[in-house]
Amino acid sequence: MDDKTRVYLINVMFLLFAIFGPPFLYFIFTGHLSWEEFAICMAFAVLPLIGFLYGLRYMKKHFGPEWHRVKDNIPPEVGKLPKVRVFEGIGTLLFFLGIIYGILTRDLEAVVVLIGASYIIGYQGYRERLKYLLPDARKIYEKGYKIVFFVWLCFLLGLITRVCYQILLLRVEGKN
């Protein structure tokens, strides 16, 4: 298999996971999936598709038609650094704990917070590997990280607001 086919297959695999992963995880966590909920999940699937097309356009624009041949020069010793192992290990552990917790409790908000936190913690270790990439290739990873971090913070803020509202609502109902 040549480099171009391999790179496109990997990208398509991640795209399919990003599109069909949310409805599948929603079904696992809630035990049901109506057509309306499936349609909402598919509406959110537009975002990974846009990101995929933007990434392809960006790579072709900055690295030319042979963009898939751009290799990274990450030494194998970097993956063995304690800092990298700790951050990536904690991020992976938190990810699996979030999935297990979500299956057991059916609490989607907590799962999204745990999975977002695992991504952010794991990315701190991955940033050590990014130091060895070309500056233009590093920019696209940093931009994606900032977008996911912002979305996670917005979701966390919404969750905190919801919890505070419920607490205030309980206090008001308790006084009546």
Among the candidates 43, 70, 97, a domain finishes at 70
Q: Are residues 149 and 62 part of one domain?
A: no
pLDDT in tens, the chain (176 residues): 666 777 778 777 877 777 777 777 777 767 777 887 777 777 777 777 777 777 777 777 777 766 666 666 666 776 677 888 888 888 888 888 887 887 777 777 777 777 778 888 888 887 777 777 777 777 777 777 777 777 777 777 777 787 788 788 777 776 65
Q: Are residues 91 and 5 part of one domain?
A: no
Q: Are residues 157 and 82 part of one domain?
A: yes
CB proximity list for 87: less than 8 A, separation 6 or greater: 121, 122, 123, 124, 125, 126
CB proximity list for 58: less than 8 A, separation 6 or greater: 140
CB 122 within 8 A of CB 92: yes
Q: What is the DSSP letter of 77?
A: G
Domain span at residue 127 reads 73-176
Q: Are residues 143 and 59 part of one domain?
A: no
Sign of CA dihedral 138, 73, 55, 157: negative
